[in-house]
Structure formats: C-alpha cells, structure tokens
Amino acid sequence: MKTAVISIYKNAKFLEENIRLLKKEGFDVILAVDEPEDDVFEIMRKYNLKATISEKRRGKWRALNDAAKMANGELLLFLDSDTVINNLSGVNGADVVEVVKEVKGEGLLEKLVAVDYLVMAMCAKLASKFGSCLGVDGAAFLIKKRVFEELGGFKGKVNEDTELGVRAALRGYRFAVCGKAFTASPKTFGEWFRQRERWSVGGAEVFVENIFAILLRPRLWVPYLVLFYPAIFGLIVSLFFTESYIAKLLYLILPFFALLTPKLASVAMLAVYELENLRNLIAGLMSFIAWSVIILA
C-alpha cells in the first residue's frame, strides 16, 4: 500500500488534479492542512479524504508529521499542493526517491525558476549515481515509511526537507530519482527572492550543523560541487599545465632580441603566447566535455 501526504496552506491549488492521478496509481491520500479555506473542505468531502487540520499555522514540518502518523502505506509520497504530479515512473525500491520537478511558463520569472529546478534535477540525477544525496526537495519526494520513522520524521528547521535528506544520507540510506512533477513559480520577483533567501538560510543551517560528517563523505558533496561550480573541471585540468615562469620571463626578454633579429623575436613571442592560449583552450575544452557528459548521461 502507498500513501500520499499532501501539504496545504490555505487554498487547494492543484489538490484535485493530484488526487485523481494518485488514486489511479493506488495511493491512499491524507491531507496536512493549516488555515484551510472553503475549497479544501469541499474537495475533502467529495473524495472522502482523511486529514489533519489546524485552524492556526503550526508549521509545515509538524503538519506533515501529524499526517504521516495516520498513514498505512509502506511508501510515503510527500507532495505540496502547488505541485502537480505528472508521473511516478521509475521508482526502483530505493529508500528515498526525488521526483524531478519542472516549471512551465514563458515569462522571464518562470525561466529563471526553471533554471533553478534544472540545476536541482541535474544534482539529484548525478547524486543518484553515487547512491546518496544532500537533501530532498519537499515539493515532491518519496520515502519508505520505515525509513521515515527510523529518522524520526521531520524536524523544526527552515528547510525541513533538506534536513531530512541529509540525515538519510548520513545514515546510509539509498537514494534515487524518478518521475516528473510540475511546480508553480513564485508570482513576483519579491516572492522569488524570498524563496531563494529561505532556501539559502535553511541550507546553510543544515550544512553547518553537519559540516564535519558531510566533509568526511565526498560522495555526498562532489556531485553538487561539480554542478554548481562547473569551472572546477577547467581548474583540475589546468593543474596538469603548471604555470610557466619561463614563459613569463621570455615575455620580458624576447622584446630585446627584436633589436638584433626582429623576425625571429616576433615568431618566438607569438609561439610563447600561443602556447599559453593552447593551455587555456585545452582546459576549457576538457571542462566543456566533462560537463556535457554529466548533463547528457
């Protein structure tokens, strides 16, 4: 049996669309609702749903924990109401499974948000090759109920989803990527900025609290280092082409030879210059090839 826990703050958003698909996929649905509006109650009655409801905002992490206690499924899907599931194909028995998110829209803001989610998807995909991750995106992810209970559920953190994923990674649980979901974009640049600010603060909080445990496990952070800092490939390649102090010295000396043999001096200076360009070109080319292999893999 599988259970979907859908978090709702005030209005239903994509709730009904998700219920219809999840029922077809064999999911029992439980709602975790804070400060519900009338449309939420209407959908609950229509589909006869179980729910944990608070008239005051108790916090997403607490609402999800309350709902998870009501779940009977061996596999839990945590889903935000502003994210709509497209498919859940590819679940392969891993302990924690990230659902790939995309953003639809043609506006500038939607395109900026789409870039964010593309990078997150690439990070998750690469991390899955290592069998682990540095957090999950709470908009849509799956976790075995046994694992969720062993981890003690969500904690009261700014990024409760990231923190849960880090604890799962540090405990050695298996991580995978599957399916697809579409998530709503912030409506204004102010909302977009505040969301990224919250992600940054919450991510930093989790990283600082677990910094030594994380650093001792390179397979957790290497995928993110590579994707967030693609220029690292060029840096690594350039290490094999040591800085040539001889070349710098020749730049200073060769102009004086122009007084004796201007043609020879010009050719020599050009050769030294081109060798340095070749070094940079090779480093850049290797960086591009490595980046492309990861993205297309």
Same domain as 251, residue 195:
no
Span between the terminal Cα atoms of the chain, in Å: 33
Same domain as 54, residue 197:
yes
Q: What is the pLDDT of residues 164-190, one digit of tens each?
A: 999 999 999 999 998 999 998 888 888
> Domain range spanning residue 270?
232-296
Looking at 218, 249, 274, the residue that finishes a domain is 218
CATH no. for residue 82?
3.90.550.10
* 40 within some domain: yes
Q: The whole model's pTM is what? A: 0.77
76, 142 in Cβ contact below 8 A?
yes
Same domain as 134, residue 53:
yes
Q: Is residue 33 predicted with pLDDT exceeding 90? A: yes
Of 142, 22, 23, 10, which Cα lies nearest the Cα of 78? 142
* 36 within some domain: yes
Same domain as 263, residue 136:
no
* 225 within some domain: no
Q: What is the pLDDT of residues 140-149, one digit of tens each?
A: 999 999 999 9
145, 129 in Cβ contact below 8 A?
no
Same domain as 188, residue 253:
no
Same domain as 266, residue 196:
no
Number of domains in the chain: 2
Same domain as 47, residue 152:
yes
Q: What's the pLDDT at 122?
A: 80
Task: Give burial (CB, 10 Å; 0-12/13-18/19+) of 269.
Answer: middle
Q: What is the pLDDT of residues 83-139, one digit of tens each?
A: 999 888 877 778 999 999 988 777 888 888 888 888 788 888 888 887 778 788 889
* 226 within some domain: no
* 227 within some domain: no
Same domain as 139, residue 64:
yes
Same domain as 163, residue 260:
no
* pLDDT above 70 as % of the chain: 76
Q: Work out the pLDDT band at 77, boundaries 50, 70, 90.
A: very high
Same domain as 239, residue 206:
no
Same domain as 259, residue 138:
no
Phi and psi at residue 97, in whole multiples of 5°? -130, 120
* 223 within some domain: no
As a whole number, the mean pLDDT across the chain is 82
Q: What's the pLDDT at 264?
A: 67
Looking at 218, 250, 265, the residue that finishes a domain is 218
Q: Is residue 259 predicted with pLDDT exceeding 60? A: no
Of 145, 150, 161, which Cα lies nearest the Cα of 7? 161
* 132 within some domain: yes
Average pLDDT on 229-257 reads: 60
Same domain as 118, residue 18:
yes
176, 98 in Cβ contact below 8 A?
yes
Looking at 218, 242, 259, the residue that finishes a domain is 218
